[in-house]
Chains A and B, each alone.
Chain A
Amino acid sequence: QVHLVQSGAEVKKPGASVKVSCKASGYTFTSHYMHWVRQAPGQGLEWMGLINPNGVRTIYAQKFQGRVTMTRDTSTNTDYMELSSLRSEDTAVYYCARDISEADKSWWLDPWGQGTLVTVSS
Chain B
Amino acid sequence: NAGVMQNPRHLVRRRGQEARLRCSPMKGHSHVYWYRQLPEEGLKFMVYLQKENIIDESGMPKERFSAEFPKEGPSILRIQQVVRGDSAAYFCASSPRGGGQPQHFGDGTRLSIL
A pairs with B: no
Binding site for B on A (CB under 8 A): none
